[in-house]
């Protein structure tokens, strides 16, 4: 398998795992019961918000999973996680899981969508060749007030 197919499959796996986490979270909220009510009470949120938040989470997830709307879905899930981060910070809890989920949403999309990789190319961490360093230094010299004298 060529490298680009491996990258796309890695993105699908990351997106699948993240999607599973969001789906389980939404299902737990939709099911109701003492668990979500206790969690929302702990966060200082009313029980009346459980259903709307579950619907928002599920709708954002569906939009994320549709390839044509996946970028919009990632934006919506990122905003959703931003709200979760704020809720946890407000009560003094570290929002590590929420931040990691938000990052993984974009990592999965980045790996599986060539358009996003083209828009935000990652640079190689390999050492730059000497000629490339000289080219950069030469192009910066006039800006730094150093002539080619």
Per the model's pLDDT, the better-predicted residue between 42 and 123 turns out to be: 42
The residue to which tokens 């003094």 are assigned? 92
21-57 residue pLDDT tens: 999 999 999 998 899 999 999 999 999 999 999 999 9
**Are the CB atoms for 99 and 77 separated by under 8 Å?**
no
Q: What is the pTM of this model?
A: 0.78
Structure tokens at 84: 């979760």
Per the model's pLDDT, the better-predicted residue between 149 and 20 turns out to be: 20
Q: Give dist(CA 69, CA 63) in Å, integer.
A: 6
Split at pLDDT 50, 70, 90, the class of 120 is: confident
Mean of all residue pLDDT scores within the chain? 87
């Amino acid at each position: 398998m060529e490298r680009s197919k491996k990258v796309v499959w890695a993105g699908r796996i990351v997106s699948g795992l993240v999607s599973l986490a969001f789906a389980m979270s939404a299902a737990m909220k939709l099911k109701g019961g003492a668990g979500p009510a206790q969690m929302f009470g702990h966060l200082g949120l009313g029980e009346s918000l459980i259903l709307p938040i579950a619907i928002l989470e599920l709708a954002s997830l569906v939009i994320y999973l549709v390839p044509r709307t996946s970028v919009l879905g990632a934006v919506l899930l990122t905003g959703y996680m931003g709200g979760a981060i704020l809720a946890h910070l407000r009560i003094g809890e570290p929002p590590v899981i929420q931040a990691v989920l938000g990052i993984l949403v974009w990592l999965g999309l980045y790996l599986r969508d060539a358009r996003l990789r083209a828009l935000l190319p990652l640079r190689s961490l390999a050492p730059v060749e000497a000629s490339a360093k000289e080219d950069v230094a030469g192009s910066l010299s006039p800006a730094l007030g150093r002539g080619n004298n």
